[in-house]
Amino acid sequence: MNTLDILIEAEAWDEEMLTSLATSAVKATLFHMQLAAEECEVTLLACDDGRITTLNAEFRDKPTATNVLSWPTQPLAPPAEGQAPPPPERGFDQMFELGDIALSYDTCAREAGAAGKPFADHLTHLIVHGTLHLLGYDHITDGDAALMERIEVEILGNLGLDDPYTADITITGAS
């Protein structure tokens, strides 16, 4: 992958583990979506509940902690419910500047523990989920949610991970 910038703000994060999981999850998502990882740029903020609460309040008017948020560089949207969004366009530098993802360690760890799932598996799912948001996928409508969840399950399966929707973990952010 050409550029995966990771900014770690919360001490609880393990930089080596996060870098490995994020690189794998983003690459697998881009490969599945037929994009060359070396031509894409993604920024990841690894923070805590305090920081993500501030971001969620500022950008979504929801002053609560959440697990993942995303900010796509391009406003990609499907032409109709349940359809795939158009592919991103290259930037001036001929790269696909996809956008930014923020993850809260506190919420991710709490959710994984409550569901009895390994933290690394849940984190990988959230990074795949956030990356799909950067590519214009969403889960607001039933048709869009079904498409996005199917793609997530396929990507995670390719990574050797179980279907995350068989457990009671809700993706609350990622808009």
Alpha carbons 72 and 131: distance in angstroms, whole number: 9
Residue 101, SS3? strand
For domain 3-166, the CATH superfamily is: Metalloproteases ("zincins"), catalytic domain (3.40.390.30)
pLDDT tens digits, one per residue of 25-62: 999 999 999 999 999 999 999 999 999 999 999 999 99
pLDDT at 1: 54
- DSSP-derived letter for residue 93 is T
For the chain, the domains span: 3-166
Residue range 87-94: mean pLDDT, rounded: 89
Which pTM was predicted? Answer: 0.93
pLDDT at 175 over 90: no
pLDDT at 166: 82
Alpha carbons 99 and 91: distance in angstroms, whole number: 12
- DSSP-derived letter for residue 94 is S
